[in-house]
Chains A and B, each alone.
Chain A
Amino acid sequence: MKILFPFFAVIVLVLLAMIGVGGANLQSLFGVVVPYAAVLIFIIGIIYRVIKWAKSPVPFSIVTTCGQQKTLPWIKQNKLENPSTTLHVIGRMALEVLFFRSLFRNIKGELKDSSRFIYGSDKWLWLAGIAFHYSFLIVLLRHIRLFAEPTPSFLHLLETFDGFLQIGIPRLFMTGIILLAAVTFLFLRRVYIPQVRYISLQADYFPLFLIIGIATTGILMRYFLKTDVVAVKELTMGLVSFNPVIPKGIGVIFYIHLFLVSTLFAYFPFSKLVHMGGVFLSPTRNLTGNSREYRRINPWNYPVKVHTYEEYEEEFREKMKMAEIPVEKE
């Protein structure tokens, strides 16, 4: 159920676009209204999310220290894993966001022969994660071609790099294939590792199916069910210039692709996909570990009821005197 329901949800989305455009000719709904709405929801949703998080303060310095602290001068500090300056934090966050440092550390713990634990390196999740995110990024960047006239020059470079295998016409872009492979791996991992299957929610399968759908329709469109790219560009340029037009000759497959992308955009702020923004706000990673050196201020710090020394001495004065421990009042 957990897997089937999200799977069929994506199938329904595909059918909606297929029937909506192919049967009911709702091109302007699926080509203009839905994408605009989706982008709007995405932007407002993300801003809303981030503002909501940012409104909660970070009262304490709760950085997770994964390396040697700053201490005596002859002990080497691990500046990236136990940052004590903003520069160190930027370095740590860069490693985290660009290279998934924490996930790279991953190890697998297993009980062998019912008696000893062994911990082996386990980088598959890191590899699939990084392949997925980077290929997704490059695929996304390649799409700028559809939204800019003339095409920015860095895109040519990117495309040359992406298609350097020179296979087929149009040239095969590796990132599309890597994206599909990585996302499929992430799905299979969820299904095949019992523990991961156990923790998975429908909300974990849905975006995977959605992205598989997006990548598949994209690949189909580029290599198999050729779409009129010139017409597509006319549509996308119309969208970015707020002067939408619906050109003739765009295949249904494009509208399916666009509808799935729109769904992803609209779904983004309400789902776990907001980890994209949240990773920057994680207090265990983005704080400095120098709270002994500089006092951290808690904005809602309030006075508390304490048991004072006077009250303490009041209770124990006689016993203290007997034990020859100095007291304030004789």
Chain B
Amino acid sequence: MAKFTAKPADLLKINFKTPKTDWMDTPVEIREHMYCHPAKAKDLETVGFPNIHEWKPTDENWNLPENWKEIVLSGIKERLQKYRSFHVFMDICVRCGACADKCHFYLGTGDPKNMPVLRAELLRSVYRKYFTTGGKIFGKTAGARELTEDVLKELWYYYYQCTECRRCSVFCPYGIDQAEITMMGRELTNLLGLQLGWIAGPVANCYMKGNHLGLEPHTIKSNIEFMLDDIETITGIRINPTFNRKGAEILFVTPSGDLFGVPGVYTAMGYLMLFHELGLDYTWSTYASEGGNFGFFTSNEMAKRLNYKIYAEAKRLGVKWILGGECGHMWRVLHQYMDTWNGPADFLEVPKSPITGTVFENAKSLKMIHVIEFAADLIKHGKLKLDPSRNDHLRVTFHDSCNVARGMGMFEEPRYVIKNVCNHFYEMPENTIREKTFCCGSGTGLNASENMELRMRGGLPRANAVKYVRDHYGVNMLANICAIDRATLQASMDYWVPGTAVAGIHELLANALVMKGEKERTTDLRGEPLPQKSTEKEGAE
């Protein structure tokens, strides 16, 4: 595969004209830089996925199993019976088109098959052909079409050009959610062994080693020890967190992305500093060392298998409740699925902040709260000593992660924390934030390097809104509460909005946090000189 070299100006030449031919007669063209490499056989074997075989997206022949059509059709049938969402969403779309220009992939590519309505029609047409009377009798005039290898390739290509961000669902008069349809479509491709490397790898890692990155227990500990060294350098305070400690009050689970690489590690340093300052009785787990869930991008069953370890570990360690880090799809899963899959968590207690005494009734069954809820509560009760001027070199905007926004509705807590730890906060335009937020363009396992064009195109609407606040208010920091955002938005910013950095909120919080016994800080967590310190220095000179 040739290197992706297109300049932003090239990508901005987006053709929104529709093709001359009808979409059913426009064959799929699988283009370089717009898809991810296939999964490695060993990763699929690790978790026992079916129909593992060699194939390449650009090849004519995908070496499909002989009975592939049967597999897909019985897969559709099974899912129609298991999910009302899927069944209803296959039937009630009126193709009004309200969703069309809501998708970041459509806006960034101009490809009509990325309009959520049409992306869904790719599968609906098959559904009509084999599962509805009208489709069986009237065929194409009823919008039905045969399931052929080309149709399957098209489904594969476009269902991996959807990040399940659910923005379309917000505007749909019937709440049709392309994410639900994409999830079904991806389950179907998974049945045929047509999985992506960037999904299957993390899934296998998470299953065997506890986290997506495949960090082994001692590596997790040593990664965190590196952070502790840095924290000591900056604050003069040595922190001693515990691992797999039985009898701790709280189990802390965060995406492994926070433990590896910049800027995720700064967020993790933020958690460490906050918990130390509070004297929190908590522990990390090397076994349940992942809050994220790439299984969610393969099948419901796999997601449940990966999620299992969080409750299991809480039980084994005998903690009272669970605290979760900053992550996007992790919270969609935790909020809307975990208790159903692996509950009831009746061996835990309703989360209660040991610092403020606040009981989190909104999580009384799940027994797990978000670290931002926890932090907002601390700040509201005046339990933290904060010096927001330490973030004065940052002009901050906030990116609502799609899953937290549209699968949870957590809008005020992160803003409350940011406003208390930063003096300069600016919102992006209102049609691009909160429930209307745009995806980073690289979620659902699409955060690979080989599909950079797709990622940059998908990230364009988000980047464009950041550019607006950069140009108007000089914003230079994009805060968020999602590990995938932290891992992928930097690339998008460098491409579209150079000069904008990306950070988790706990990094900003820790910058502002005045810790007991800390030495005079001269830098922020990134080693950048603190604003007022540098002016003092200049003054002294």
Report which A residues bind B (CB closer than 8 A). Answer: 2, 5, 49, 52-72, 74-76, 78, 81-82, 84, 96, 100, 102-103, 105-111, 114-117, 119, 125, 129, 193-204, 270-272, 274-275, 278-279, 281-285, 289-298, 300-301, 304-309, 312-313, 315-316, 319-320, 322-323, 325-327
16 A-B pairs within 8 Å (CB atoms) are namely A53-B91, A56-B84, A65-B407, A67-B435, A71-B362, A102-B98, A102-B174, A111-B14, A125-B96, A202-B142, A203-B141, A279-B173, A304-B305, A312-B208, A312-B287, A320-B217
Binds A, one of B59-67, B337-345, B419-427, B476-484: B337-345
Complex CA gap A281/B134 in Å reads: 22
Decide yes or no whether B112 CB sits under 8 A from chain A.
yes
Given known A-B contacts A59-B83, A64-B406, A82-B409, A296 and B173 have beta carbons under 8 A apart: no
The interface residues of chain A lying within 8 Å CB-to-CB of B365 are: 291-295
B84 close to A308 (CB less than 8 A): no
Segment touching A, from B16-24, B184-192, B386-394: B16-24
A200 to B93, CA, bound (A): 11
A315 to B217, CA, bound (A): 10
Contact B308 A306 (CB under 8 A): yes
Is A300 in contact with B82, judged by CB distance below 8 angstroms? yes
Total inter-chain residue pairs, C-beta < 8 Å: 320
Q: Mark B99-115, 1 if CB is under 8 A from A, else 0.
A: 01110000100001001
Query: Which residue of the partner chain, among A114, A195, A296, contacts B112 with CB atoms under 8 Å?
Result: A195
Q: Which of A60, A279, A322 has the most CB of B within 10 A?
A: A60
| B residues apposed to A, CB below 8 Å | 12-14, 16-19, 22-23, 48, 80-89, 91-98, 100-102, 107, 112, 115, 117-118, 121, 132-134, 141-143, 166, 169-177, 180, 207-210, 216-218, 221-222, 243-246, 286-287, 301, 304-305, 308-309, 312-313, 316, 334-337, 339-341, 343-344, 358, 361-366, 368, 373, 376-377, 380, 405-413, 416, 429, 431-432, 435-436, 460-461, 464-465, 467-468
Main SS of chain B's interface residues?
A: helix
Chain B residues with Cβ below 8 Å from A67 are: 409, 411, 435
Known contacts A109-B102, A291-B335; decide if A66 and B216 are in contact (CB<8 Å).
Answer: no
- The answer to whether A109 touches B207, judged by C-beta atoms less than 8 angstroms apart, is no
- B134–A271 contact, CB under 8 A? yes
| Chain A residues near B410 (CB-CB < 8 A) | 68-69, 71
B464 to chain A, nearest CB (A): 5
Interface of A, secondary structure class, is: loop
- Bound-state Cα–Cα, A108 to B97, Å: 11
Q: Are B373 and A71 in contact (CB under 8 A)?
A: yes
Q: How far is the CB of B108 from chain A (nearest CB, A)?
A: 9
Residues of chain B with a CB closer than 8 A to A107's CB? 102, 171, 431, 436
Give the distance to chain B from A148, nearest Cβ to Cβ, in Å. Answer: 32
Pair A305/B218 contact, Cβ less than 8 Å: no
Taking CB atoms, residues of chain A closer than 8 Å to B412 are 68, 71, 75-76
Closest to A195 in B: B100
Q: Quick one: given A291-B336, A309-B287, are A59 and B93 in contact (CB under 8 Å)?
A: no
A103 neighbours in B (Cβ, 8 Å): 96, 98, 171, 173
Q: How far is the CA of A178 from the CA of B169 in the complex (A)?
A: 29
- State the Cβ distance, B366 to closest chain A Cβ, in Å: 4
Q: How far is the CB of B167 from chain A (nearest CB, A)?
A: 10
Asked whether, in the complex, the Cβ of B118 is within 8 Å of the Cβ of A203, the reply is: no
Complex CA–CA separation, A223 to B436 (angstroms): 47
A204 and B305 in contact (CB under 8 A), knowing A56-B80, A293-B364?
Answer: no
Say how far B329's CB is from chain A's closest CB, in angstroms. Answer: 13
Nearest CB on B from A12, distance (A): 14
Q: Which residue of chain A has its CB nearest to the CB of B363?
A: A292
Please tell me which one of the listed residues A110, A272, A298 contacts residue B340 in the complex, with CB atoms under 8 A apart: A298
Closest to B93 in A: A272
Whether B87 and A52, one on each chain, are in contact in the complex, defined by CB atoms closer than 8 angstroms, is yes
A275 to B98, CA, bound (A): 15
Q: How far is the CA of A268 from the CA of B175 in the complex (A)?
A: 21
Complex interface: chain B residues within 8 A of A76 (CB)? 412
A202 touches B143 (CB 8 A): yes
In the assembled complex, which residues on chain B have CB atoms less than 8 Å from the CB atom of A49?
91
Query: CB distance A319 to B143 under 8 Å?
Result: no
Who on chain A is nearest to B344 by CB? A295
Contact residues in B for A326 (Cβ distance below 8 Å) = 243-246
Contact yes or no, A62 B336, CB < 8 A: yes
Q: A60-B337, A66-B435 are in contact. Are A325 and B286 (CB under 8 A)?
A: yes
Q: Do A111 and B366 have beta carbons less than 8 Å apart?
A: no
